[in-house]
């Protein structure tokens, strides 16, 4: 087990035990991005549109268990899009195997994602969200491959794959 896999597992375990929403509330961060994004739905509409797991991650800032996403094995040409609104997020050519158990990318599609500070779980991280609907996708870390040196570590349940 690598250090990255260990730390990713500890983070996912802690999120699962504490509940990310509870940790976010305790830290004073808001889950409500309403009014900030072009694509908006009511909470009821989101619940109808998304599966329970998608809702927990995209709208509740949750984390899926490492190694559970079928998108980890996706290697075809195409694009990864937001499961909430269909926004194009990542080109398949930027996907790589990070060893974390989550789909990872070294760069997003220009304008597809936004970043915000995440102070949950007693640490400061950079959250990645859909620029169109504000859905939580994952986090970005400065330990990725060249040419960017970044690792966009995404929840597979928050995305869909569109082959070319």
Output the domain CATH number for residue 134: 2.170.150.20
Residue 90 lies in a domain: yes
Does 33 fall in a domain?
no
Let me know if 153 is a catalytic residue.
Answer: yes
Give pLDDT, residue 121. 74
* 137: in domain: yes
Average pLDDT over residues 21-28: 32
- The single residue of 82, 85, 130, 153 carrying the catalytic annotation is 153
In a domain, 34, yes or no: no
Give me the sign of the Cα torsion angle 141, 17, 155, 49. negative
pLDDT of residue 14: 37
> Which tens digits make up the pLDDT trace of 119-129?
887 889 999 99
Question: Residue 51 has which token pair?
Answer: 């599966």
The mean pLDDT value for 59-75 works out to 96
Tell me, yes or no, whether 80 lies in a domain.
yes
Angle at 128 between CA 57 and CA 18, to 5 degrees: 45
User: Range of 155's domain?
Assistant: 3-28+42-65+73-163
What is the number of structural domains in the chain?
1
Contacts of 113 (CB under 8 A, 6+ apart): 89, 128, 129, 130, 131, 137, 152
């Amino acid at each position: 087990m690598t250090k990255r896999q260990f730390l990713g597992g500890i983070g996912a375990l802690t999120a699962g035990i504490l509940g990310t929403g509870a940790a976010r509330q305790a830290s004073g961060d808001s889950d409500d991005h309403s009014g900030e994004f072009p694509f908006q739905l009511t909470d009821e509409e989101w619940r109808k549109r998304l599966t329970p797991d998608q809702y927990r991650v995209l709208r509740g800032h949750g984390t899926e268990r490492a190694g559970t996403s079928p998108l980890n094995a996706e290697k075809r040409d195409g694009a990864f899009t937001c499961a909430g609104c269909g926004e194009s997020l990542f080109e398949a050519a930027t996907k790589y195997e990070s060893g974390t158990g989550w789909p990872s990318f070294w760069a997003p599609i220009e304008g597809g994602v936004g970043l915000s500070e995440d102070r949950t779980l007693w640490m400061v991280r950079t959250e990645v969200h859909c620029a169109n609907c504000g859905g939580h996708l994952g986090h970005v870390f400065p330990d990725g491959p060249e040419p960017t040196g970044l690792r966009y570590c995404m929840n597979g349940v928050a995305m869909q794959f569109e082959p070319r």
